[in-house]
Structure 1
Amino acid sequence: MIDFKVLSDYAATFTHSENDLLRQMEEKAAEIYIPIMQPSAMAFLQQLIRWRSARKILELGTAIGYSSIRMALAAGNDTTIVSVERDEAMIEEATQNIEALNLQERIQIVAGDATDDLSEVASAAPYDLILIDAAKVQYEHLFEKCSGLLADQGIIVTDNVFFHGLVCDIDAVQKKQLHRLVKKVDAFNHFLSEREDFDTIFLTVGDGMAVSTKRSCAEGER
């Protein structure tokens, strides 16, 4: 049987970053393990933004600004991206990367914890698309908060929902803390599948991605 990571790496060979800075960011992230989206997942997210003509986007977890930049490039000039990050060093580096590409008018970084009620986030709602790429243990809580900020028939994308394939064999995970985290991710996946106000599909791109589309009011009344 083909290893999931090998297949994901194969898919990534067919994706290409838009500029040298993004390629440098990918190399740095791989070298010192900065959590950015895998290339194949990022490429799909960009296509999803184009398909849905998403112009107002919320991102939970800025890191070094990689996803924000690529989403802004896919969405176009009239984009508004609000990205939440609590790590000051990450915010500083992300700001430098965003300004290097003159995208500061499209991308606003909000300093704070994504689990908190942040006025800058609420004031920009509703969002066409929300990306959850923050602490996995908080996924369910973050989704609940996000759902109220989403436009009718908007989309919530959650990254890393397969957690390196560990969700398929939780009992084999020996370390207690890791086992607890994997169980949390698995529980979140079940939580998504059981929601009646969203339609969710799970995709085997990158490290697993859930795409949840908010049902319209008319659909919810059926």
Structure 2
Amino acid sequence: MQKKPLFATFAAVLCLGIGSAHAGAIDALKKFNADTDGISGSFTQTVKSKKKTQTTNGTFQILRPGLFKWQYTSPYKQTIVGDGKTIWLYDVDLAQVTKSPQDQTIGDSPAAILSNKSALESSYSLKEDGTAGGIDYVRALPKKNNAGYQYIRIGFQGDALAAMQLKDSFGNETTIRFNNVDMKPNLVRSAFSFTPPKGVDVLSN
């Protein structure tokens, strides 16, 4: 079973993008970025490639700047933690942990946009992108040709984060729907520390 970690394939959200547009999703994005220091909830993620479609479920926590925890709970168990310096990827089935430098690993990816307020404005151009299913979307287009993403869409219902969509450079499409979102969770930095469990293999990238 192919597994797709958050920082590699997932989707994006947050940060200020400046552009001339009518009131709508960009205003919601600006407010979200300005007001949000932490966020938590659950998610359903669907990845469509040319050969198959895979759906996963889990929970997430973000404390800005720079901290996030993304836990897949079904159909497999996998935990991704960004502690500000290192990204830890723990695959329960493989009993394996992979660690990578956070700044080098996430770059301009959606994970950077999720956890840092300045990432979107510096790396993407924004425009309003219509409404579907009651969700207003912002389309974020990367300023660099080597960003790895063709676009990222960020969706809001009112001021609430509702969905994210992205298409990567290989044509794979990822959609994330957020549920039970808490915009003011009681999160502490110590919750984003990670110690590899005893007996697992630890690899470095």
Q: TM-score normalised to the size of structure 2?
A: 0.32
RCO comparison, higher one (Cα < 8 Å, 6+): 2
Larger radius of gyration: 1
Higher strand share: 2
